[in-house]
Chains A and B, each alone.
Chain A
Amino acid sequence: METIIEVKQLKKKYGHIVAVDGLDLTVKKGSLLAFVGPNGAGKSTTIHMLTTFLAPDQGEITIAGYHIGKDDDKIKAHIGIVFQDSVLDALLTVKENLMIRGGVYHMKRDELKQAVAEAMKVTDISDISHRRYGTLSGGQRRRVDIARALIHHPHILFLDEPTTGLDPQTRLLVWDTIHRLQKEQGMTVFLTTHYMEEASKADYVYVIDNGKIVAKGTPNELKDQYSSDTLQIKPFDKKVFHQLLEQDQVTFYKEADTVIIPISQGWDAEPLLAKYRPYIASFQVLNGTMDDAFVKITGKELRA
C-alpha cells in the first residue's frame, strides 16, 4: 500500500520542555491509525505539526507528497481536521456553519452546496441542519465537527481525541461514522485517543510517551507482545490457596478476592484447573487487553 504520511525525526521544544523528541511515523493510504499516549505525551503537539498549525523545530513531514513548511496551502486543502474542542459558531445553524467554513476552499456556490449536503449525509446530521450549533448535544456536535472536516473532500482526516467527554453510546456512534468514512470513501484516518479500547479498532497503533514512540504495531501484535492471557480464580479460602501456589512456585497476583495467574495461552489453564479443582469456587480465562499492553508499554495507567 501507498504511504500517505511520512514523518522523520520530528522534534518540538517548548522552552526547555521537549514535547516531541525525534518521532518517526508512516501512515498507509486508506488506513486507520491510532496515536495513543497518556495526557502530555506529545499527541496534540504532533497532530498540530502534522496539520500545519505548528511549525516543527526539526524533522521532515510529507503529506500526500507535499512537504510541510513548503506546500502548506496544498496540504491544508488535502486534510480535514476535527479539533479536540469545538471550533464552530454556537450562534449559527449547522448549515450556516458548514457553508461558511466550506466557503474558503475555492468552490463554486453550487459545488459548495452539494459538498455540504454530502458531508451532512455521511455524518447523518441532515435532519438537524437548521438547528443552532450551540443547542446541539455533545454527540451531535461531534458529528457536525466531522462534517466540517469533510466538506472539501480531504484525503486524510485528523481527529484529536474525537470521543473524549462523550457517553459510551455516542462514542460508538462517532466510531461508526469514522469506520464508514474509512471503508466507504477510502479515507485515511489519523486519530489520537487515550482510550486503549478504541485503539484496538485501528489498523495500526503508535504508542507515544514523553515525546517518543515507545511501541508500534497492529492491535493484535501489541497485545501478543505486551499482554498475556490470564486465568482468574476465586478460591474458597484465599490463605490456603495462596500458600498452595507459593509451594508449587506458580507466579500469581492478588487482586481483591481473586488470584490472577498469567498464562501464555488459554489451554494452559486446563492443567492448573484440574490440579487445584477442589480449591476453586469460580474461574475465568481472559485474553490480554490493549489496556494491559498499554500499562506494560508506558509503565503507567492511562492518565485519563
Chain B
Amino acid sequence: MLFTLTLRHLKIHFRDKVSVFFSLLSVFIIIGLYVLFLGDLVSNGQSGEYRTMMDQWIMSGVIAVSGFTTTLGAYGILVDDKSKKLDRDFIVAPIKPAIRILSYLLSAMTIGAIMSVVTLVFAQIYILIYGGPFLDIVTILKLLGLIIINVLTSSSIIFFIINFIKTATAFSTVSTIVGTVIGFLMGIYVPLGNLPRAIQVATMFFPTSHAGVLFRMVMMDASMTEVFAGAPAGELTSLQEFLGVRYFFNGQVMPVYAHFLVLIGTMVVFFVLSLIVLKYKKTK
C-alpha cells in the first residue's frame, strides 16, 4: 500500500518533464554562472590543482543546494493533491492516514536523492571539463551517504513548512524565496569569509549548511592536500575557514561528528514538530 502510493507520486513527478527540468533550474543557473565568470573569479584565474580545488568547492555547494531544492519541488505533489482535492480519493479508501503521509515523505526523499545524484553527475562533468580528475569510488560512496543524510534532513524541515501551505500559489512563492535565499544560506555563491560576520553566523545556524561543509570536506580532500603540500598548517586552516570547509567557533574547529549531530538532530526535531502539528490539526 505504502509502495503503491509512493510509486504513484514518483510516476507523476517524473512524467512531468518540464517540472523536473525546472527543479534542476537553480542548479543549471549556478553552474552557468560559474562557467561564465564566477569560476574564473573565485579561482583567481589560476589553473591546475588550485582550479580543481575551487571547482570542487563550487560543486559541493551545488550538490548540497540541489538536495534541498529538488526535495522541496517534490513536495509539490502533496500540495497539488491537497489544493486540487485529489487526496479525497485516498482518504475514502481504507488507507491509514500515517501511511498516506509517509508515502509523500518517502517519494520526496527518493526524488531528492535521485536529483542530487543527477547533480553529482553534472558536477563531475564540470570538474572534468576544467581539467579536474574523476572522483574515486570511496569519495563517491561517501558523497552518496551524505546525499542521503542531506535529503533526509531537508525533507524533514520542508515537510514541517509544507504543513502550513494549502495553495499552489503559496507553494510557488515559498519555492521562489527558498531558491533565491538558499544559495546564500548554504554559503555557495560567495566564500563564507567574504561575508560579514553576522551572515556567517546565520549560515552556520542554517542546518543543512552543515551538509555543505561535509560535502566540501569529502570532495576537496585530495585537491586540498595537494595544493597545501608543504605549506604551513595555518594557511590550510585559514583557507578552510574562508571557504566554509570547516566551521570555527572561538578559534575552535567544529568536529566532523558535530556536523552529523546537527543534521540528525534537526531531522528529529522537525519530524517531531510535524507530528505535533498534524496531531493538532486532527483534533481541531
Contact = CB atoms under 8 A, between A and B. Distances in A.
Interface of A: 51-53, 73-74, 76-77, 79, 81, 83, 85, 87-89, 91-92, 96, 100-101, 103-106, 148
A87 B85 contact: yes
Contact of B7 (A87, A100, A106, A148): A100
Nearest to B16: A91
A16 to B, nearest CB: 18
A76 B94 contact: yes
19 contacts: A53-B88, A53-B91, A73-B94, A76-B93, A77-B94, A81-B92, A87-B85, A87-B86, A87-B88, A87-B89, A88-B86, A88-B89, A89-B8, A89-B12, A89-B86, A100-B4, A100-B11, A101-B89, A104-B93
B205 interface: no
Contacts of B1: 103-104, 106
Nearest to B90: A104
Contacts of A88: 86, 89
B125 to A, nearest CB: 30
A77 B1 CA distance: 14
B197 interface: no
Interface in B1-55: 1, 4-5, 7-8, 11-12, 15-16
Contacts of A51: 92
B95 interface: yes
A91 B88 contact: no
Nearest to A83: B88
Nearest to A76: B94
A13 B105 CA distance: 34
Contacts of A73: 94
A148 B90 CA distance: 12
A85 B12 contact: no
Given A51-B92, A91-B15, 17 more contacts: A52-B92, A83-B89, A88-B86, A88-B89, A91-B11, A91-B16, A92-B11, A92-B12, A92-B15, A96-B11, A100-B4, A100-B7, A104-B1, A104-B90, A104-B94, A106-B1, A148-B89
A53 B92 contact: yes
A101 B88 CA distance: 12
A79 B89 CA distance: 12
A148 B88 CA distance: 13
A165 B93 CA distance: 26
Contacts of A83: 88-89
Contacts of A77: 94
Contact of B12 (A53, A76, A81, A91): A91
Nearest to B100: A104
Contacts of B5: 100, 104
A81 B93 CA distance: 9
A296 B86 CA distance: 38
Nearest to B77: A89
A190 B90 CA distance: 20
A92 B1 CA distance: 18
A119 to B, nearest CB: 15
Contacts of B94: 73-74, 76-77, 104-106
Contacts of A53: 88, 91-92
Given A76-B94, A77-B94, A96-B11, A103 B88 contact: no
Contacts of B90: 104
B142 to A, nearest CB: 36
B92 A76 contact: yes
Nearest to B95: A104
Contacts of A76: 92-94
A88 B8 CA distance: 11
Nearest to B80: A89
Nearest to A90: B12
A103 B86 CA distance: 16
Nearest to A85: B85
A44 B169 CA distance: 27
A53 B95 CA distance: 12
A98 to B, nearest CB: 12
Interface in B64-94: 85-86, 88-94
Contact of B93 (A91, A92, A96, A101): A101
Interface string B95-129: 10000000000000000000000000000000000
Contacts of A89: 8, 12, 86
Contacts of B7: 100
For B11, B88, B91, B93, the residue with the greatest tally of chain A CB atoms inside 10 Å of its CB is B93
Contacts of A92: 8, 11-12, 15
A116 to B, nearest CB: 13
B208 to A, nearest CB: 30
A104 B12 contact: no
A77 to B, nearest CB: 5
Contacts of B88: 53, 83, 87
B18 to A, nearest CB: 11
A83 B90 CA distance: 12
